[in-house]
């Protein structure tokens, strides 16, 4: 594998913009574990190995159990996620695959049982942000460890 190019170096403004989104979410009060679950689920759907590697490591470093990390992709069949997490994961799937069916009214209602309008907006921003990171990473050929070797840096 080889990195196509380092977008960090090619366009620092893009990285700064994405970091501003991350800062907004961090300061919003969104639960950090929930945000990592969102990041992992979107990255699984999008097939972003770089982000999936990064965020599963993050979640483990935060003390999350191996069981929950391994079962994120099958959260519907696993009893180890709360109803609030389930709502956020379902919304993550819908927004990540927005062209398929949008966000159905029933899903919106389920999410709103756990999140007010401000929190719902923050969830959408969190989902949009990780989808943006995924698209940057995939489009530029990023993969786990791609920055570990100086020969792969552009």
Higher-confidence residue of 150 and 106: namely 106
Domains of the chain (ranges; CATH) run: 29-140 (1.20.1290.10)
**What is the pLDDT of the chain when averaged over all its residues?**
95
Rounded average pLDDT over 59-71: 97
Q: For tokens 């943006």, name the residue.
A: 132
pLDDT band at 149; cut points 50, 70, 90: low
Contact (Cβ atoms closer than 8 angstroms) between residue 21 and residue 36: no
**pLDDT recorded at residue 94:** 98
Instruction: State residue 153's pLDDT score.
Output: 38
Q: How many Å apart are CA 58 and CA 15, to the nearest integer? A: 20
Please report the pLDDT score of residue 148 as a whole number.
Answer: 86
């Amino acid at each position: 594998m080889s990195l196509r190019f380092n977008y960090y170096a090619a366009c620092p403004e893009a990285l700064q913009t994405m970091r501003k989104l991350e800062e907004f979410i961090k300061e919003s009060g969104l639960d950090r574990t929930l945000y990592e679950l969102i990041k992992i689920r979107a990255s699984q759907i999008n097939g972003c190995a770089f982000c999936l590697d990064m965020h599963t490591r993050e979640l483990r470093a935060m003390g999350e159990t191996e069981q929950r990390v391994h079962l994120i992709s099958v959260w519907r069949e696993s009893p180890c996620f709360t109803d609030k997490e389930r709502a956020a994961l379902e919304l993550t799937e819908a927004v990540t695959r927005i062209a398929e069916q949008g966000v159905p009214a029933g899903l919106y209602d389920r999410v709103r049982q756990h999140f007010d309008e401000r929190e719902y907006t923050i969830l959408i921003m969190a989902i949009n942000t990780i989808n943006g990171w995924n698209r940057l990473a995939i489009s530029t050929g990023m993969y786990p460890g791609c920055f570990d070797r100086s020969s792969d840096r552009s």
